[in-house]
Chains A and B, each alone.
Chain A
């Protein structure tokens, strides 16, 4: 299932020309990121701008490593563990550098970075623990997004979501073009209270994930909230968070337990 999601989402990126080869970048924009700073020590960012063969190599590796890893894991090949670690490190390099050379943020790529670690062993017990470690981490990622909206003050600003939509669609709105989607955005900008309610629904959805730290009983609900969030972001905000879909698998498979592990 993870490999299928990867292929579909990665296919979307390829279709929309978001690989190094298709972008053929002429510059890079560094980000305030400690790991990124050390990645820059390798000089790969400059080499990717200059060498088309390196861009192609990066793309081929990125798009083939995950399917290869899953194949090896299913067939229990010895190579799996080395491939998993290689995928983990390479995906960090690939996703960080791609975000420096495109408009795509690095945060949506977090699943491609962390999921290879799930396949660093064949023991069912180990897999179970890694699944739950990732589940807890994702809960924290998602819930802190809600907490940040409280800390940043957005949650207490009635104009917040109208303002976000205005900034998000400024280029389209200024061009004076019409259409049902532009009308919908204008409606939401003008109706600040309705937009603010939508913003708060997102905050509540994010904060609701905190319940997952104490019980797995509501994981099915959290799974649907996550899918709803991804769809909402794609269609209303035009932000692709489908690369977070692998995390939904954690909330589906969390219902399984290991016989010799007692729930406490």
Chain B
């Protein structure tokens, strides 16, 4: 049990990390795209809001293993198809992000929305040109939670044999080696931090109009 194992397997760890990143990021992006219309719908009516938010919240309570096993039957995919993981994590991302979008849109100042309506913005123009841009800080915050949560859930896919950093856990377990497990955990942490910082940086870049803390 030495660090040699890491050097010997560096290429494979890199490959697994790349897979892991892809399996975390793609579902987050897809989840965001699907959560926007759902969140918008929820934010438009006090009656629909609890239904949509409650319903999407329920999705998050489905155990991930169950979803991984169930999806091939629903989608007609092979059990080893990474698509299963992408779909499952997209479902979780939607569950997290619908609420973020709905609350983010609700946080847009009422005056701003009213002004846009009175100026003659159509509802979708108002959403695209005013509400979504103004909600970016709130949405960015939720996106960080979603992407980090995905990094963690992806590891479960190791139980199905889909390659990503979780594979190091199963390997370490079967070989009774601690180093692969620790290496997997460290890489997961690094990936989480990198993605978190990335989302944060993009959010900041998109919102030069936000009052900076030092001038407040």
Asked if A and B bind, the verdict is no
